[in-house]
């Protein structure tokens, strides 16, 4: 076995798990957004319509943007702004939260594990 053979074999073995996982198990684009807040019930929003959502938490109002099937925190009255810095979410299972303002975003869509979620 030449050095080229070994290199090719290594390349194939490295690529196999990635391709297998990516093509069979990775989460696809999400269909809708579940917003949980401490002050109210959880809300489900479709990702089809671009809009801004105003959600009130114990610290004040957080603004969540839905744009082209993605979502993100645009503003929040927390000090560290971790939620803002987490950026856009677009895939199923994507999650972001403003813990000080007790608001979380979860994306749900093509479930690799489940066909539907009961709650």
Partner 1 sequence: MTKQLTRLGCLLLVLAASACDQRKDPVFHDQFFAFGTLIEISLYGVEPQLADTLSKDIEKDFMNMHASWHAWQPSVLSSLNEHLSRHEAATVDPILLPLLREVGRLSQRSGGMFNPVIGRLVALWGFHDNPLPVGTLPDSTAIKDLIEQAPTVSDITIGDDLITTINPSVAYDLGGFAKGYAIDHAIDRLQASGIENAIINAGGDLRVIGQHGDRPWRIGIRHPRENGILASIEVSGDTSVFTSGDYERFFEVDDKRYHHIIDPHTGYPANSTTSVTVIHSDAATADAAATALFVAGPDQWLSTARNMGIRYVMLMDKQGTIHMNPAMQSRIHFEPGMDAQITLSTPLQ
Task: Compute the least distance from the CB of residue 20 to partner 1, in Å.
Answer: 5
Residue number with CB closer to partner 1 (8 or 52): 8
φ, ψ for residue 15, nearest 5 deg: -75, -30
Considering the rule CB under 8 A, would residue 79 count as an interface residue with partner 1?
no
Residue number with CB closer to partner 1 (56 or 81): 56
Considering the rule CB under 8 A, would residue 14 count as an interface residue with partner 1?
no
Burial of residue 53 (CB within 10 Å: 0-12, 13-18, 19+) is: middle
Contact characters 19-48, partner 1, x per CB under 8 A: xx--xx------xx---x-xxxxx-xxx--
Residue in the block written with tokens 């050095």: 3
Residue number with CB closer to partner 1 (85 or 113): 113
- Parallel/antiparallel/unpaired status of strands 70-75 and 60-67: antiparallel
The CA distance from 110 to 28, in Å, is 6
């Amino acid at each position: 076995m030449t050095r080229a053979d070994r290199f090719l074999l290594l390349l194939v073995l490295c690529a196999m798990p990635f391709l297998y996982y990516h093509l069979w198990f990775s989460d696809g684009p999400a269909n809708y957004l579940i917003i949980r807040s401490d002050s109210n019930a959880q809300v489900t929003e479709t990702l089809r319509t671009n809009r801004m959502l105003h959600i009130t938490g114990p610290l004040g109002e957080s603004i969540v943007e839905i744009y082209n099937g993605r979502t993100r925190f645009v503003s929040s009255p927390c000090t560290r702004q971790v939620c803002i810095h987490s950026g856009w979410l677009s895939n199923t299972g994507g999650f972001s939260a403003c813990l000080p303002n007790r608001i979380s975003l979860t994306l749900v869509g093509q479930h690799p594990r489940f066909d539907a979620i009961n709650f």
